[in-house]
Amino acid sequence: MVYEPTLMTGALLFLIGLAMVLLRREVLFVLMGIEVMFNGAGLTAAAAGQYWQDSVGQILVLFLMTITGAELAVALVLVFLAFRRLKVTQLADIHALQDAPPLAEESRS
Amino acid sequence: MSDWLWLIPGSPLAGAAATALLGGALRPSTAARIATLAMLVCAVAVAALWATGGTGGAARQTLYTWMAVGDWQATMGLRVDRVSLVMVSVASWVGFLIHLFSLSFMAEDYGERRYYVFLNLFVAGMLLFVMADNLLLMYLGWELMGLCSYALISHWYRDGAKARCGRKAFVVTRIGDAALALAIFLLYTHFGTLGFEPLLGAVSSSHDDTTLLGWIAVLVLIGAAGKSAQLPLSVWLPDAMAGPSTVSALIHAATMVTAGVYLIARLHPLFEAVPQILELVAVVGALTLVYAGLAALGQHDIKRLIAYSTISQIGYMFLGLGVGAYGLALFHLATHACFKALLFMGAGVVINAYQGDHDIRKMGGLAQGQPYLRLVFLAGSLALAAVPFISAGFYSKDPIIEAAAVAPHGGLLWSLAILGAVLTGAYAFRLYLMVFHGPQRGETVPYRMSWSMRLPLGLLALASLTLGFVELPHGWHLPQLWSPWLAPEVGAPELPHGGGGVLLQLAGMVAPLAGIALAFSIVRRERAGGGTSTVGVLAQGGYLDTVYDLLIVRPYFGLARALRTLVESWSLNGLALGSVVSLIRGGNRLLSMTQNGNAARYASLMVLGAVLMVGYFLWIR
């Protein structure tokens, strides 16, 4: 069996997801990027299970899908609440817990 | 018998503590009454001491052990022998009269509670100082007086110049304090004890090491000169006039300046072991009395004039100590306390009558407005000038001048002392005549003295005239009480006998009268706008302040300023502190850059970290 196309596809998915997480501004797209990254990782895990002739890889993929589904439900609620309560969709605008901006060089005696 | 000795320094101390602790809860007049009552208790206790133990041996009481280190211990021990009994009586009785006078004199002032706390504490310090049975406890009282003098001189602290006078007094006397502390350290290292009786016994019996004893004696002399305002540390006393007149009376008469005299009288075996230092004491006294007498002639501020007269009279006491006439020095101390307290409190009334003006050139003819004040002031001036026969000052000062004549270098000392006597007569009556006689000048207000002001002045005036009769001149074959009574403690003074003695006595009688005659002509010129107050060197007190300012004060301030700029600002704050501060600041900025709340930044840092870790595990390990 040839593994390269599968692994390359997994790596590509991971990188695309990473790029979405790092570059997109909307919270929803960042979440989607995370999902894409999960899929890349799952594909890689399935290929690795095939390579070592071990069922653990496929079990990991099943777990991954379940947990991702649960996580996504919570995350979507958070995004929804953030929109409804804080009226924001951009990730950078969610900073309710941030410190006050650092003092700009207080006057020295 | 003497287990109530603690009451003497204790009651003013308790009075001060009560006023200080109850503080705002008391009305000012109540605080004044508490303070005066405390002094009354103290004065009565001293009177009881006279009645019971005044003629016997030393009364003593050890209260408790103050501190103990190994074998050595310092006790809170009180001891009253005849020498200290004189001092205790002066401090408590004159102190009580001054408190009584303060009752109405200070009634319309600010800060009465503070005033009475420190006034009481001042007397307590003096009493502790004279009653201590060891040098350490004595030093405690000595320092207590230094503190209180500072607080009282700058009583009107809202006036910056007066606060400065207080600081000056504190700093100048501190020079003497430091010298006395060094002397105490040396005495302890050499003799291993600080109690007076063992210490003085050891000093008299050791004849081996006079160099060390000489240094100790010099240090004690510096300490005494600082407290008693003798040359060269005399500059603080004229400025101590910034305080209320009653404070001046207390500092000049009952406490503080007499402490130096008592210190030398108490430690006289030390000085006798090194006779050349004892001569130095006499020389210091003789020079000071002439210097201060000349300076007093040039003053136009009524209180500065009396202040210089105090320095001059203390000079006589030092002269008496220096020629070995300790009893006579103490006698002059007692009479001086009476007439000087009288003169200062009288001067306070004069100043009030002239609405706060101190300048005697603008005064005159007060005798009509204040006949009672004029009489008591005349009594004080007579005693200060030592007018023969009728004043106490004559009986106490004249024997000192005679004793100076038979001491080593007697001719020089005697001439200075007799010159001082002429000067004393001149400045005392210059003051009296300027203020009370001549045409009425200056704006006066009718100032009524209450009984609590009249009574102390009257009693002190009586004492100024009659206290001398306890010691009639020795050549007259009349009873003498003072010298024989003190002789067991300090020995009898050596006085001239025969025809020479009579001549010296005659000279001592003529000198003050000559001075008074001189005063009349000075006053005539003074009223015409001339006189001695126009002579710069006299009015400025020999430019001593200017010289010290140039030699010590300015270089010191310059040094302090240079240190502040070079060391404090540049080296410490600029380099050392600055580098630490900028290091912390830079680190803070660097770390806070990573925590900017931007989720994308966090994510990229996580990616970076993951890449680095994976790379490390794959290729480097």
Give the range of the structural domain holding residue B610, as residue numbers without chain letter: 549-620
Tokens 């950078």 belong to: A92
Q: Would you give the DSSP letter of residue B364?
A: -
Q: Note whether B454 and B590 are same-domain residues.
A: no
Contact B332, B313 (CB under 8 A): yes
**Structural tokens at position B320:** 């008496």
Nearest to B396 by CA among B325, B459, B500: B325
Residue B126: how many other CB atoms lie within 10 Å: 30
pLDDT band at B160, cuts 50/70/90?
A: confident
Of the residues A79, A99, A107, the best mutation for testing chain B's interface (the one with the most B CB atoms within 10 Å of its CB) is A99
Q: Would you give the DSSP letter of residue B564?
A: I
Of B595, B599, B607, the CB nearest to A91: B599
Tell me which of B325 and B488 has the higher pLDDT.
Answer: B325
Examine the fold and report which residue of B493, B515, B542 is the final residue of a domain before the chain moves on.
Answer: B542
A-facing residues of B in 578-607 (CB < 8 A) are 589, 592, 595, 597-600, 603-604, 607
Q: For residues A11-27, give the mean pLDDT.
A: 90
Q: Note whether B274 and B418 are same-domain residues.
A: yes
Cα–Cα dist B578/B571, whole Å: 9
Q: Note whether B206 and B289 are same-domain residues.
A: yes
Q: Note whether B480 and B409 are same-domain residues.
A: yes
Taking an 8 Å cut-off on Cβ atoms, the answer to whether B599 and A18 are in contact is: no
* Rg of chain B taking only CA atoms, in angstroms: 30
- The Cα diameter of chain B in Å comes to 123
Cα–Cα dist A5/B352, whole Å: 113
Task: Identify whether B265 is part of a domain.
Answer: yes
* Average pLDDT along chain B: 85
pLDDT of residue B617: 93
Task: Identify whether B599 is part of a domain.
Answer: yes
Number of structural domains in chain B? 2
Instruction: Please give the model's pTM, rounded to 2 decimal places.
Output: 0.77
* Chain A residue at shortest CA distance from B591: A102
pLDDT of residue B54: 54
Nearest to B419 by CA among B613, B288, B544: B288
Contact B316, B231 (CB under 8 A): no
Give me the interface pTM, i.e. the ipTM: 0.77
Please indicate if any CB of chain B lies within 8 Å of the CB of A11: no
Residue A50: how many other CB atoms lie within 10 Å: 14
Neighboring chain B residues of A91 at a CB cutoff of 8 Å? 599-600
B207-216 confidence digits (pLDDT tens): 667 788 888 8
Q: Would you give the DSSP letter of residue B75?
A: E
pLDDT of residue B134: 86
Element (H, E) at B154: none
B550-604 confidence digits (pLDDT tens): 888 889 899 999 988 888 888 887 788 888 888 999 998 888 777 776 777 788 8
B355-371 confidence digits (pLDDT tens): 888 888 888 888 888 88
Tell me which of B376 and B57 has the higher pLDDT.
Answer: B376
Task: Identify whether B587 is part of a domain.
Answer: yes
Distance, in angstroms, between A98 CA and closest chain B CA? 6
Q: Note whether B410 and B313 are same-domain residues.
A: yes
Residue B270 has pLDDT above 50, yes or no: yes
The length of chain A is 109
Partners of B504 in beta bridges: none
Neighboring chain B residues of A92 at a CB cutoff of 8 Å? 598-600
Cα–Cα dist B179/B176, whole Å: 5
Q: Note whether B511 and B597 are same-domain residues.
A: no
Q: For residues B47-69, give the mean pLDDT.
A: 75
Residue B471 has pLDDT above 90, yes or no: no
Helix, strand, or coil (residue B74): strand
pLDDT band at A60, cuts 50/70/90?
A: very high
Q: Would you give the DSSP letter of residue B23?
A: G
Task: Identify whether B58 is part of a domain.
Answer: no
Please indicate if any CB of chain B lies within 8 Å of the CB of A95: yes
Q: Note whether B430 and B447 are same-domain residues.
A: yes
Phi, psi of B305, deg, nearest 5:
-60, -50
The CA distances from residue B490 to A72, B264, B330, B341, in Å, are 107, 11, 10, 26
Contact B125, B173 (CB under 8 A): no
Cα–Cα dist B490/B486, whole Å: 6
Examine the fold and report which residue of B542, B576, B599 is the final residue of a domain before the chain moves on.
Answer: B542
Task: Identify whether B115 is part of a domain.
Answer: no
Please indicate if any CB of chain B lies within 8 Å of the CB of A91: yes
Q: Note whether B394 and B491 are same-domain residues.
A: yes
pLDDT band at B609, cuts 50/70/90?
A: very high
pLDDT of residue A71: 92
Residue A64: how many other CB atoms lie within 10 Å: 16
Contact A23, A53 (CB under 8 A): no
Percent of chain B at pLDDT exceeding 70: 98
B-facing residues of A in 61-80 (CB < 8 A) are none
Least confident of A98-107, B326-335, B377-386: A98-107
Q: Note whether B198 and B259 are same-domain residues.
A: yes
Task: Identify whether B34 is part of a domain.
Answer: no
Q: For residues B372-388, give the mean pLDDT.
A: 89
**Structural tokens at position B487:** 């002789």
Cα–Cα dist B365/B442, whole Å: 9
Helix, strand, or coil (residue B54): coil
Element (H, E) at A81: helix A56-86
Helix, strand, or coil (residue B442): coil
Residue B52 has pLDDT above 90, yes or no: no
Taking an 8 Å cut-off on Cβ atoms, the answer to whether A95 and B604 are in contact is: no
Residue A107 has pLDDT above 50, yes or no: no
Contact B7, B131 (CB under 8 A): no
Residue B497 has pLDDT above 60, yes or no: yes
Q: Note whether B496 and B556 are same-domain residues.
A: no
Q: Would you give the DSSP letter of residue B492?
A: P
Task: Identify whether B203 is part of a domain.
Answer: yes
Q: Is B369 exposed, middle or buried (0-12, 13-18, 19+ CB in 10 A)?
A: middle
pLDDT band at A109, cuts 50/70/90?
A: very low
pLDDT of residue B615: 93
The length of chain B is 621
Q: Note whether B530 and B565 are same-domain residues.
A: no
pLDDT of residue A7: 92
Residue B126 has pLDDT above 80, yes or no: yes
Examine the fold and report which residue of B492, B521, B542 is the final residue of a domain before the chain moves on.
Answer: B542
B446-462 confidence digits (pLDDT tens): 778 888 888 989 999 99
pLDDT of residue B2: 60
Residue B252 has pLDDT above 90, yes or no: no
Residue A39 has pLDDT above 80, yes or no: yes
Dump the DSSP string for B243-311: S-HHHHHIIIIISTHHHHHHHHHHTHHHHHHSHHHHHHHHHHHHHHHHHHHHHHHT--BHHHHHHHHHH
Cα–Cα dist B291/B313, whole Å: 11
Please indicate if any CB of chain B lies within 8 Å of the CB of A106: no
Of the residues A95, A103, A106, the best mutation for testing chain B's interface (the one with the most B CB atoms within 10 Å of its CB) is A95
pLDDT of residue A106: 47
Task: Identify whether B75 is part of a domain.
Answer: no
B76-122 confidence digits (pLDDT tens): 888 888 888 888 888 899 999 998 888 888 877 778 888 888 989 99
Give residues with Cβ within 8 angstroms of B126, minimum separation 6: B87, B91, B95, B141, B145, B254, B255, B256, B259
Q: Which CATH code of 1.10.357.10, 1.20.120.80, 1.10.287.3510, 1.20.1260.10 fits the domain covering A4-88?
A: 1.10.287.3510
pLDDT of residue B482: 80
A·B CB contacts under 8 A = 21
Taking an 8 Å cut-off on Cβ atoms, the answer to whether A94 and B604 are in contact is: no
Q: Note whether B244 and B292 are same-domain residues.
A: yes
Query: Does a cis peptide bond (omega within 30 degrees of 0) precede residue B232?
Result: yes
Tokens 């005299």 belong to: B261
Tokens 């000085």 belong to: B271
B406-421 confidence digits (pLDDT tens): 877 778 888 889 899 9
Taking an 8 Å cut-off on Cβ atoms, the answer to whether B603 and A92 are in contact is: no
pLDDT of residue B229: 85
Residue A108 has pLDDT above 60, yes or no: no
Please indicate if any CB of chain B lies within 8 Å of the CB of A94: yes
